[in-house]
Amino acid sequence: MSTPQQSAPFLLESDIPWERIDEHITRQIVGYHDSIMMVKVRFDAGGVGQMHEHHHAQVTYVVDGTFEMTIGDETRTLRGGDSFYIPPHVMHGCVCTEKGMLIDVFSPLREDFMSSVNP
């Protein structure tokens, strides 16, 4: 049996690097295990999370800002305090209309994000 991928038990924000995704978006992986991952994502106004799908279930909390979030065929305006759930393999994406931050939780862990953790 392989050893699970997992973060340290305590993670201090000042010790975790932010990864630049594009000119408007950065992310910080703030905890993970094979079965779950939490990621903070900062958006400048105008930042676009391109429409995509993945096999992970996703729950996201909107910390602050304003986002036009599309899940499947529905688009809603979400603000700080709101949240959303995306089932596996459902197309989704967002446009940030007011600078803000999202906290994404994925199950299982996003292997494609791990290159920034284990370069």
Whether the pLDDT of residue 115 is over 90: the answer is: no
**Which pTM was predicted?**
0.93
> Candidates 3.20.20.70, 3.10.129.10, 2.60.120.10, 3.30.470.20; correct CATH number of 32-111?
2.60.120.10
3-class state of residue 14 by DSSP:
helix
pLDDT in tens, 31-72: 999 999 999 999 999 999 999 999 999 999 999 999 999 999
- The span from the CA of 103 to the CA of 59, in Å, is 8
Quick one: average pLDDT of 14-32? 96
- The span from the CA of 32 to the CA of 72, in Å, is 27
Q: Tell me which residue has tokens 């967002």.
A: 94
pLDDT in tens, 63-92: 999 999 999 999 999 999 999 999 999 999
The CA–CA distances, whole Å, from 19 to 41, 42, 50, 55, 57 equal 9, 10, 17, 22, 22
The CA–CA distances, whole Å, from 5 to 14, 37, 61 equal 22, 10, 24
What does the pLDDT read at residue 52?
Answer: 98
**Distance of alpha carbon 96 from the chain centroid:** 13
Whether the pLDDT of residue 118 is over 80: the answer is: no
- The span from the CA of 71 to the CA of 49, in Å, is 12
